[in-house]
Each structure stands twice: as structure tokens, then as C-alpha cells.
Chain A
Amino acid sequence: MSGRVLVGVKRVIDYAVKIRVKPDNTGVVTDGVKHSMNPFCEIAVEEAVKLKEKKLVKEVVAVSCGPQQSQETIRTALAMGADRGIHVEVSGKDYETLGPLQVSKIMAALAKKEDAQIIILGKQAIDDDCNQTGQMTAALLDWPQGTFASEVTLDGDKIKVVREIDGGLETIKINTPAVLTADLRLNTPRYATLPNIMKAKKKKIANVKPADLGVNLTSKLEVLRVEDPPQRQAGMKVETVEDLVGKLKESGKV
């Protein structure tokens, strides 16, 4: 076994930023807006680095698909403890239509090329909320999947995964190689400390094109329209119970 872990990290609009819809309703404004690593991807990186610190895996490789700026996201993963990075260059029209299906094809191709033993992804991205990439990647590779992981334990050549499901927690045991997706309570991502940030500057980020991996990026999805959620109406204050009943009757609610 290679002992290599592939971690996917996505560059998304920072969760603290107020999202604005473009005036032509084709998408959201991204120019000049603060971006950062998807919070679930941070948890994925943390888990991979923890496995390496426990000496259960040998190398952590951070992967990101996107334009030039995706390299910053890979640098953050390197500062958290990943060993090297792979930047899959996707820009322009291709980047606009890049979705879970395309990314999972890329991850599958890379997993084969890098001889990865485990792929860890965030359970979903906070911009599209798709929650599909991990599942699709596993299907393309015909690997088992441990999704919504809140606890991961390596046990020989198997992995025990505790999953967060609607009814509570489900524990499964899967063979390796496998795909895992990280849920919120899996761990608390570390702050990148100064010594590691300095070291990260020297770590390598390889540049790869999707065509080199034999991946076709065409999408069968077309975004028709992006809109703001309906404006929340202001509430009304009334002075007495009679007023309240009156207003309720007026609006036809009673």
C-alpha cells in the first residue's frame, strides 16, 4: 500500500462575506470578494494530517481544481501540514461550469496516477451545497465510501467510519482504498503556525491540465437564473390584544 492520502480542497467565497447576486442574475459577484478554503475541506486536511502524525499514512497530497488563485488554497493546506500540492488548472468558461461530476473525474484520474490509498474530501462545498463529489468519485473508482464521517479509525487494511445520519450515528467498516467525506464534528482544524507557514513556502505544487489526465470537462448542466431569496418583511408592533386580533383578521389569517 502506498500510504498516500489525496485531499481535495476547494476555493470558495469566505463564509463570513455577504453574498451579492450579479445584476444580470447569472451568478454571484466573485470579483474582489474574499475567498478562502471551504470549511469542510479544512476538516478533511486536518484529518489527513492527523493520520500522518499518527504514522498511519505516509504522505498527504492536497489537490485543488480552479484558476491561478486556487494555489493560495493549496498553500493553506501545505501550511496545515500537507506534504505537496497538485493544482489542476481550470479557468474561464470551463471553471464556470466546473461541477461535482467534472471534479470527481479529475480526482479519480489523480487517484490512479498517484496510487492513492485514501481520498478525503469535505462533505460539501458551502457555495453550491452539492454534496456529490465524494460519492461520484467513489463510484467512478468503484471504491467504498464513508460519507458524513464524524470519526475515522484505520484498522489494518480496513477503515471504521462513524457516520452522521438523520437518526443518529451509524458505524461501518469499509475496505481500502476508499473515499471519505468529512462532516463538521470530525475534528477542529488547526491554525497554521508560523514555522509551518514558513516551511510551506518551500513545498512543491505541481501544475496539471485536465486534458493531461484524459478528463473531459463538458457539463450537461446550464444555470438558468440566480436570484436573491425573498426579502424578509418587517414585522408589525401592536399595542393591545384587540389590535392583534384585528390585524390577524384583516390579513385573513384568522
Chain B
Amino acid sequence: MNAYVMLGVFQTSQKLRTSLRLLSRAGLPPVDLQVQLLLRGRSPQSATFSRELHLGPDGPASSPAAAPRRLPFSRVTVEDLTFFGKTLPGRAITDPDLVQSSNEDWLKSVRGSSEVLLRPQTTQEVSQILSYCHSRNLAVNSQGGNTGLVGGSVPVYDEIILSTSLMNSILSFDKISGILTCQAGCVLENLSLYLEERDYIMPLDLGAKGSCQIGGNVATNAGGLRLLRYGSLHGTVLGLEVVLADGRVLDCLSTLRKDNTGYDLKQLFIGSEGTLGVITAVSILCPRKPKSVNVVFLGCETFDQLLKTFQLCKGMLGEILSAFEFLDSECMRLLNTHLKLANPISDCPFYIVIETSGSDSDHDSQKLHNFLEEAMTSLLVTDGTVATEESKIKTLWSMRERVTEALTHDGFTYKYDISLPVERIYQLVTDMREHLGKRARSVVGYGHVGDGNLHLNVTSPAKDPALLASIEPFIYEWTAKFQGSISAEHGLGLKKRNYIYYSKSRPAVAVMGKMKTLLDPKGILNPYKTLPDDLK
């Protein structure tokens, strides 16, 4: 071991960062400095430098949500940085201040220690990067808007972050068929604005629309507020362009509504959470913008009445119903307290947000009026208000969309996204409240009740492993008892990967493992996520 390597062992990773900073700003350093840096390299002892923030109280294997040990991928060297710098001039970022925000998730619940953030602009660049990383055995974490809620969008260790943020061009839009083709980094809200000008809308909508990117939405099979009406991405996505782990570009970017020629490969990648390939372009079928939109905010005394209102709604509003969401009184309390949003109606135990979308405002208002009259006279609903104006519609929707934000102000949040038979949804919330008692600060329930999807959230003043141990696996066992899904739309990511067996059988998971091995034999794409640890 020569003196330079010894030096490397005793220096903190700060020194490497400083030299990297010099590299990224001034281009290649002179040859003798290169040699010095190469020798200073990283010795095996530097494994302790990576901040292992995900360790459970007794070490890595204790909590199923905690990260496993780092797998033996290569580490980034100066040569690698040179290659990245040449392939993506000015867009291979190593400045720690800039990389930092991409290392941490939106909830601030998990943080990686990647030192490299790559921002390609074209599919070709993504292909070159992956081909190189594959040959070098470097792990890669693809990242869109970084709004995921299960720790799947940020590195666990030092995986290279491959951001699609600069791949934000719209490639084409067919006004007759409503088929939009765009790069994976397009922000959902921007796509919506583009389409609205052309009298169309995106088939999906979620609270994170201002930041989330369509590639990430597809990779996680995002559900959202409009799924009730327009269906899931498995139906609306017509084609994908994906770059595989070894850099090969898989062009399945068809824009055809119907195409039964062979296996439908794109379905594999939708919801694969970046573990089977990196999505670089999407073609999606968009519905026409409705001429008439109404939003109704209702209050109910009991969950049973809420469900009866849902039945009535489906019967009387029928084809114009485009969303049916609920929140409980605890959610309203958090909205009032933390975001100063006033309750549009009087205080009730349950609130419903109903949206109708149609092509004729007279027809829709008549149906809506009849439904509301029936709901009120049969006492299913105790109070409510209606909005037809854009500004009021936005305000009523924010009562539902901003619950997630309100929770972040209430303390450390434990988020659960469960699918259950619709009659059982609120029972889980009441059982959880009883089970946790005073240990939790707030236990709230809200979500896409029309789709049988509950968002159950628990807050505590600070991260509390004992509280977590009370919640999990209680909640997963409860869900499994009624054959529900432990992750309706958020995906598995890092946090829920080991709970997959509560909702999928061993043979099914085994086949998933085989698909992963087939498409990514070296396992460099988003390692440590989605599939359970016991598959390795």
C-alpha cells in the first residue's frame, strides 16, 4: 500500500468531493494530478463512508423496511466521471450541494449517498450511459420528479442517479385520435396545460402533478384522482420506449389503439418501478376536455351513509361521474390547523368530493341537481356545496389534494396505501386508532374510496421505531385477512419490498424474480427495491 492510498484511508470523503469539484468545473486536471487522484482512489475500508441511514435499531436485517447491505457493485472512479463528463457535457453533476436534493425523497424519510447526478437529454445518451454502467457494473437509480412515497426514487447507497428532468420535450400530438407522444421527463402538469389548450386532458391526475414526470408515473403505474373514469395506465398507455440495463433501446413506442402482434411487452415496464428498464418516451391516449365540470363537496354522518351515497351517485350520475374521493374529520382538522384552509361546509365525520365531467352543462347540472335533491331528502348527506366555477373547483379539490401536505406539518408521517373491499375501508382506520391509542399523534383516513383505495396515515412527533413496530405488520396482516393489497398505487420501492408476500403468492414472486434476471442479469437497475430480499 503506498502513501497516497494510506492518505485516502484517513481522509474523509470530503477530499474526494473536493477533487471531483475541481474536475467538474475546470475540465480534466493535468496528468500527474490524475495519477495522484487515481492512486488515492478508495480502499475497501471506505465502505464505512457511505451513510447507512436506513439501518434498523439492531442492524440491517431487523426491520423488513430497512435497507439490506450494499451489494458489491463497482464504485465511481475518476475515469467514470471523465466518461460521463464527455457524454453529457455540463450535465454530469458532482457538486454535493446540487446532488443532495436528489438523494433525499419528498417525505424526507430516506436519504442515499450518491455522488453523481446525470441529466441526459436524449434516449441515445441514456443508452450510452447504461451501456457503460453495465460494462462497469455500476448501479443506477433512475429518477423522475422524486415524488414517490415508498423510498423508491432515491439511491439507497451510492447508486448513480439518472434523472429524466431534461428529457422534457413533447414529440407529437394527434388532434383527431388524442394520442400524445412525449419524452419521459415531461412534468404532468405541463402536459395537462399543453393538452388543455388543444381541448384534451391527461387521463390521470394526482396531487403531485406540479413535480411528477410522466416516465415516473408510468414506472409506478400511478393511479390518482381520475382512475375511476379513465382507467389505469395499463389501459391508457399505448406505447413505450425503454432503454434496457445493457443499453439496448427497446422501441415499443406504438401509437396504435389496437395491436395484437405478439406479447405486449410495455405492460411489463408499467409499474416495474425502474427495475426492468429505464422508460425514455411514452405514448398515451388522452380523453377530450370535458365542457362541463362540476365539483360537489358533501358531508356524511357515517361511513355507511357515505357508501350508500356512492351507490346513489353511480346510479344517478352514471357516465358523468369522474371522481369520488373521501376524507375524514381528522383530515379536515389538519387542513384547518396546518394549512389554514377553512371547511366549506359544517363539521361532519366524513366528507366526499364528487366530480362530474361531461359534454353538456345543462344535461349534467340537471342530473347533478336530481342526485343532490335525492341525497338530501333521503338524509344520506347532511350538508354540502357545489362549484361550477374554475376558481371554486380548484379550492374544493384542494381540500382533498392537500391532505398529504397538511400531514407533513403534523410530524413524522407513516404512510399506508391499501386496497380493500369498499365496505371494510374505514374499519381499518378505526381498528388502527384503537390499536395505537395514545402512541400516535394523529391517525387519518382518506383516499379514492370509489376505487376501494384507502390512504391511512399515522403521525408522531418524531421518527418512532416502537410506533412503527406497532403499525407493521398489524396493518399488513389486517389487509391480508381481507385479501386486500398492501400497496394499492404507491408501489413497493424500498420500504415495502419485503411485504410483497402479504398480497402475492410465492410462485408469482418467483416468476417476477426470473423476469428481473432476464432483463437485468447484473441487477444494476434500482437495486434493493421492489422485489423482496429473499429472492437474491
Contact = CB atoms under 8 A, between A and B. Distances in A.
Contacts of B319: none
B389 A14 contact: yes
B391 A16 contact: yes
A193 B372 CA distance: 11
Interface stretch (B202-210, B276-284, B379-387): B379-387
Interface residues of A, number: 17
A195 interface: yes
B389 A194 contact: no
Contacts of B369: 201
A246 to B, nearest CB: 19
Interface of B: 291, 297-298, 342, 344-345, 369, 372-373, 376, 381, 383-392, 394
The DSSP consensus for interface residues of chain A is loop
A1 interface: no
Contact of A36 (B342, B373, B376, B390): B390
A17 B390 contact: yes
Given A193-B345, A198-B376, A14 B391 contact: yes
B390 A193 contact: no
B391 A36 contact: yes
Nearest to A35: B389
A15 interface: yes
Nearest to A195: B376
Contacts, number: 49
6 contacts: A36-B389, A191-B297, A191-B385, A193-B345, A194-B381, A198-B373
A34 B342 CA distance: 25
A56 interface: no
A194 B385 contact: yes
A174 interface: no
Per CB-CB distance, the 7 closest pairs between chain A and chain B, nearest first, are A36-B389, A16-B390, A191-B385, A194-B384, A191-B344, A16-B391, A14-B390
Nearest to A15: B391
Nearest to A32: B291
Interface in A198-241: 198, 201
B390 A194 contact: no
B37 to A, nearest CB: 24
Contacts of A195: 376, 383
A192 interface: yes
Given A15-B390, A191-B344, 19 more contacts: A14-B390, A14-B391, A15-B391, A16-B390, A16-B394, A17-B390, A34-B390, A36-B388, A36-B389, A36-B391, A188-B342, A191-B387, A191-B392, A192-B386, A193-B384, A194-B384, A198-B373, A198-B376, A201-B369
